[in-house]
């Protein structure tokens, strides 16, 4: 009798466990390519959907790759959210495969006012780094929220309204901070061309980048570095910026080559950090970057 009772209890527990697992799997799946967009999507859906972010904290969006298991999950997503505009170079084959199999896809780049790269080396290619202007991220939220609402339910509308208000507050803070920097000091140099949208919105000049073109997969030549040193000297740039997702060795070498007192400051431009880092979410990343740019370029 004890054996029968034990079997009955075990069976009941298995049924309950099975129901719990089924309930969890009943949530729609939203797969997001980059961790910046993954953070935004998580705010928009709350607990109403499962969000799988493919890009690890601190990774380079131009070159990161995914496992076979992750690629399989991409093809089962209820919605796939990608940055687009050529950013996810190492992931494009998986995105194309998912789209070919009928996975519904939202491309954030389709929702923004796209700018070309400021670099002539990029041959007029579209710049994918729209998130450096929070107004562009607001446009993405406005376009994405209705699709998420169809998948995750009406609660998305409330989440989106709250997050949109936070983005508007962020935008006002950045506007005020950059307004305090004299126009002649609003000059940016970084690892590669990532600040085009920020520069266009807030009145900065992009002096140049250590890595030419629009991708971190390119490499600078000796003449590239020499030209950039000349531009830095001519502009009198007091600080150049190294991205957290890219090694800063080249930037520090450039600072030494300039033969003048140039500070090197780290920014978080293409990837969030883990929870213990200085940029665990998009809003924090933008505030940290704003403070560092303002400090680095102010008199």
Q: What is the pLDDT of residues 75-98, one digit of tens each?
A: 999 999 999 999 998 899 999 999
Query: How distant is the alpha carbon of residue 227 from its chain centre?
Result: 29
> What pLDDT does residue 209 have?
65
Long-range Cβ contact pairs of 233-239 (< 8 A, separation 24 or more): 233/258, 233/260, 235/187, 235/205, 235/207, 237/187, 237/189, 237/207, 237/262, 238/185, 238/262, 238/263, 238/296, 238/297, 239/263, 239/264, 239/265, 239/296, 239/297
For the whole model, what pTM was predicted? 0.83
Cβ neighbours for 169, distance < 8 A, ≥ 6 positions apart: none
Average pLDDT over residues 39-61: 95
Predicted confidence band at 117 (pLDDT cuts at 50, 70, 90)? confident
- Quick count: other Cβ atoms within 10 Å of Cβ 19? 10
> What pLDDT does residue 119 have?
59
> Residue 6: is its pLDDT beyond 50?
no
> Residue 215: is its pLDDT beyond 90?
no
Q: What is the pLDDT of residues 123-177, one digit of tens each?
A: 678 999 999 999 999 999 999 999 999 999 999 999 999 999 999 999 999 999 9
Percentage of the chain beyond pLDDT 90 is 59
Q: What is the mean pLDDT of the chain?
A: 84
242 vs 122, which has greater pLDDT?
242
> What pLDDT does residue 241 have?
82
> Residue 13: is its pLDDT beyond 60?
no
Q: What is the pLDDT of residues 224-270, one digit of tens each?
A: 666 667 777 777 778 888 776 555 665 666 667 666 667 778 899 89
Do residues 262 and 271 make contact, with C-beta atoms less than 8 angstroms apart? Answer: no
The C-alpha angle with vertex 230 and arms to 228 and 231, in degrees rounded to 5, equals 65
Indicate the helix (H) or strand (E) that contains 187: strand 187-190
> What pLDDT does residue 137 have?
98
Predicted confidence band at 26 (pLDDT cuts at 50, 70, 90)? confident
> What pLDDT does residue 90 have?
87
> What pLDDT does residue 4 have?
47
> What pLDDT does residue 7 have?
44
> What pLDDT does residue 194 have?
86
Cβ neighbours for 270, distance < 8 A, ≥ 6 positions apart: 36, 60, 61, 62, 129, 194, 243, 244, 245, 246
> What pLDDT does residue 63 have?
83
> Residue 109: is its pLDDT beyond 90?
yes
> What pLDDT does residue 125 have?
86
Cβ neighbours for 294, distance < 8 A, ≥ 6 positions apart: 177, 178, 180, 181
Average pLDDT over residues 184-193: 82
> What pLDDT does residue 207 have?
81
Residues belonging to the chain: 299
> What pLDDT does residue 8 have?
47
> What pLDDT does residue 62 have?
84
Percentage of the chain beyond pLDDT 70 is 75
Average pLDDT over residues 10-24: 41
């Amino acid at each position: 009798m004890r054996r029968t009772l034990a079997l009955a209890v075990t069976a009941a527990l298995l049924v309950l466990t099975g129901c719990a697992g089924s309930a969890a799997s009943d949530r729609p799946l939203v797969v997001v390519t980059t961790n910046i967009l993954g953070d935004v999507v998580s705010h928009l859906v709350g607990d109403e959907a499962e969000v799988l972010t493919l890009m690890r904290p601190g990774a380079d969006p131009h070159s990161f790759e995914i496992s076979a298991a992750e690629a399989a999950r991409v093809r089962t997503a209820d919605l796939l959210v990608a940055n687009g505009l050529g950013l996810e170079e190492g992931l494009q084959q998986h995105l194309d495969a998912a789209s070919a199999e009928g996975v519904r896809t939202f491309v954030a780049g389709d929702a923004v006012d796209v700018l070309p790269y400021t670099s002539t080396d990029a041959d007029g290619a579209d710049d994918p780094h729209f998130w450096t202007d929070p107004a562009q991220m607001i446009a993405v939220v406005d376009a994405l929220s209705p699709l998420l609402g169809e998948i995750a339910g009406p609660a998305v509308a409330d989440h989106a309204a709250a997050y949109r208000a936070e983005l508007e507050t962020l935008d006002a803070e950045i506007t005020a901070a950059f307004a305090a920097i004299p126009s002649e000091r609003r000059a940016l140099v970084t690892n590669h061309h990532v600040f085009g949208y920020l520069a266009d919105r807030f009145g900065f000049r992009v002096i140049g980048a250590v890595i030419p073109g629009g991708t971190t997969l390119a490499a600078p030549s000796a003449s590239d570095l020499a030209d950039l040193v000349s531009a830095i000297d001519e502009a009198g740039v007091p600080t150049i910026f190294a991205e957290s997702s890219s090694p800063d060795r080249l930037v520090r070498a450039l600072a030494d080559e300039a033969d003048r007192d140039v500070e090197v400051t780290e920014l978080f431009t293409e990837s969030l950090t883990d929870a213990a880092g200085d940029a665990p979410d998009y809003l924090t990343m933008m505030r940290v970057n704003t403070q560092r740019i303002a400090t680095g370029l102010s008199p």
